[in-house]
Amino acid sequence: MASTDKPAAESGEPVVLTKSEVPPSGPPPRAADCFAVDVALRFLLFASTLAAVLVMVTAKQTKSVTVPGFPTPGPVPAKFNHSPALIYFVVALSVACLYSLITLVLSLSAILKPVYSTLFVFHFALLDVIILGLVASATGTAGGVAYIGLKGNSHVRWNKVCNVYDKFCQHIGSSVAISLFASVVLVLLVLLSIYSLRRRIPC
14 in any annotated domain: no
Query: What is the spatial distance between Cα 102 and Cα 128, in angstroms, rounded to a whole number?
Result: 12
189 in any annotated domain: yes
42 in any annotated domain: yes
1 in any annotated domain: no
163 in any annotated domain: yes
8 in any annotated domain: no
C-alpha to C-alpha distances, 118 to 16, 23, 124, 141, 201, nearest whole angstrom: 29, 18, 10, 35, 10
Query: What is the spatial distance between Cα 59 and Cα 120, in angstroms, rounded to a whole number?
Result: 37
3 in any annotated domain: no
Work out the percent of the chain whose per-residue pLDDT is above 90.
Answer: 39
Average pLDDT over residues 98-109: 90
Say what the pLDDT of residue 19 is: 45
Q: What is the value of pTM for the model shown?
A: 0.77
pLDDT digits 0-9 by tens, 28-75: 445 556 778 888 999 999 999 999 999 999 988 877 666 666 666 667
Confidence class for position 160, pLDDT limits 50, 70, 90: confident
159 in any annotated domain: yes
Nearest-CA neighbor of 182 among 148, 146, 131, 142? 131
- Full domain range(s) for residue 159: 29-200
**Taking the CB of residue 180, how many other CB atoms lie within 10 A of it?**
16
Say what the pLDDT of residue 86 is: 93
Say what the pLDDT of residue 35 is: 72
- Say how many domains are in the chain: 1
DSSP string, 21-81: TSPP-SS-TTHHHHHHHHHHHHHHHHHHHHHHHHHHHT-EEEEEEPPTT-SS-EEEEEEGG
Average pLDDT over residues 81-103: 94
Over 60: is that where the pLDDT of 3 sits? no
